Amino acid sequence: MHNTENGMEALRLSEVAVLVDGELVGAEDPEITGVAGLEDAGPGDLTFVGRKKLNKVLAASGATAVIVGPDQEVDRPAIRVKDPYGAFAAFLERLLPDPDRLFPPGIHPTAVIDPTAEVDKVVAIGPYSVVGAGCVIGAGSRLGAHVILGCDILVGRDCLLHSGATVREGCLLGDRVIVHSGAVLGSDGFGYLTTKDGIHKIPQVGVVEIHDDVEIGAGCCVDRATTGRTIVGTGSKIDNLVQIGHNVRLGEHCSLSAQTGIAGSCTLGDGVFCGGQVGIADHIGIGAGVKIGGQSGIINDVPAGKSVFGYPALDLKESFRMFASLRRLPELFRRVRLLEQNPGRSAEVTGKDQE
């Protein structure tokens, strides 16, 4: 074995098969020096195919070897597994950089740690980071450069806060939480009172509570509650540039794609999935397991288990039928005009009629 130019340790395909608990297909056992997608793969690369309809793409791929499913045909050395995508993802973990290189253990001399903060001995705090009064940071947690923790914040064990992340006063992070660069947890909720004298700010005195195993993407904002807590449930994954308003309660294992916006005081059940650019109005209830298509607008409660799409969002099948009908509108309008001009004619106006 040796390290390749991209830092990956070169392995025989049989060794990869053991790592991903798969079956080696074919007599050849080539050396694997890299990984890539089907279209980008070249000599030495390992790729994967999860669907039979990609057979033509595989045939044109330059990959040396491929991870395939139980019934997938292959034209080169392969590893057969039950879940090709899962096996490929597991192998990609070998390419992750050493966390001690990204976040050197210990406290950088430029970091500012308030003397009242309780910081475990086994942590990494990067250059120019700030840890405020009364903060508690658990063992194994890592803060990149320029991370800001306000006062009285709890950060659990094995958390990872990338450079430039900000957590404001009083917020709570569970264990193994990942916060990417530029995210802000605990920013003020959008609460104002309109009077004859103008718009006055309503104090936002609640906090944000992030449960275990949550990942929050770059540039996200999770607003603190007006009173009480804004909650992100265990295992939920939030893409870049997502806005979560004050007093929102997000269930467990939810997935919110980029540019989704959730207004204040909404409740989302466990396992809710939102496509990109979904907008949810305030005080809406979304049941468990709901799937919301991209760019949909939610203005009413959605029962558990539903799939919805459109603006305003409707049942998925109904919405698709409506969109398909839109293409027929010009012809329908043409027929209506013909009937208005010729009231005595039959309603069965064909497409061959001239206006």
Q: Which of 146, 162, 211, 246 is catalytic?
A: 246
In three-state secondary structure terms, 218 is coil
Distance CA 147, CA 132 (A): 11
How far is CA 43 from its chain centroid? 32
Dist CA 314 CA 32 (whole Å): 48
Q: Is 302 within 8 Å of 288 (Cβ atoms)?
A: no
Active site residue 246: yes
Per-residue tokens: 99: 């966390």
CA–CA separation, 82 and 141 (whole Å):
34
CA dihedral 306, 308, 313, 318 (to 10 degrees): -100
- Joined tokens for residue 207: 């906090």
Start-to-end Cα distance in the chain: 77
Cis peptide before 30 (omega within 30 of 0): no
> Who contacts 33 (Cβ-Cβ below 8 Å, separation ≥6)?
4, 8, 10, 44, 45
**Which residues, in sequence order, are bridge partners of residue 200?**
193
Question: What does each C-alpha distance from 161 to 56, 185, 213, 221 come to in angstroms?
Answer: 42, 11, 13, 14
Q: For residue 176, which of 151, 220, 139, 130 has the smallest C-alpha distance? A: 139
Query: 3-class SS at 321?
Result: helix
| Structure tokens belonging to residue 62 | 């330059």
Among positive and negative, which fits the CA dihedral 65, 66, 67, 72?
negative
Residues 6+ apart with CB under 8 A from 175: 138, 156, 157, 158, 159, 212, 213
Q: DSSP code of 347? A: S
The residues that are catalytic are 246
